[in-house]
Amino acid sequence: MALRRHSMATSRRIQSQRRLWIRVSDNEQSDGKEIYRKKFFWNQRMLPKTKTRKRRKKVLVESDWRTYYGSNNHLNEDVEKQGAEMFHREILHMCKTKGECSYLEAKEQFDREVLLTDDYYNGIIQIRLGGNAVKNIK
């Protein structure tokens, strides 16, 4: 899949669709484990200085969200063994800000008690969040 580049001016128009939050689960296969995590549609990349460009330039490129299952080693081993078609990926929330996305990820993980059972691939819940990030969440 080719990466599409967008300028920062173009990114302002797609800002509301920049982040997503997904759930990956086994498709009624083997142990039926799930993982709850966030993934963003876009990443920022810095273009280097060149002869014609004296400063580095920030551009948005599409992330690997279409093919990415997670960083968990056990999950990646299962995806390799069973095949990607055996896993169901679902978008649970569309978020406008990174703070909102982080809050919803942690909330879902705590509500489902992902660390207390073996039904989930999640091995750690990590969150860094400011109070301003969650003021507009309904």
Helix (H, G, I), strand (E, B) or coil at 20: strand
Domain carrying residue 81: 5-134
Mean pLDDT of successive 10-residue segments in the chain (138 residues)? 40 48 57 81 87 88 84 87 84 82 87 89 85 76
Length of the chain: 138
pLDDT of 5: 43
pLDDT of 32: 76
pTM of the full structure: 0.71
pLDDT of 1: 32
pLDDT of 26: 58
Tally of domains within the chain: 1
Is residue 103 packed enough to be buried (19+ CB in 10 Å), middle (13-18) or exposed (0-12)?
middle
pLDDT of 27: 53
pLDDT of 51: 87
DSSP string, 32-79: --EEEEEEESEEEEEEPP-SS--S-EEEEEE-STTT---S-HHHHHHH
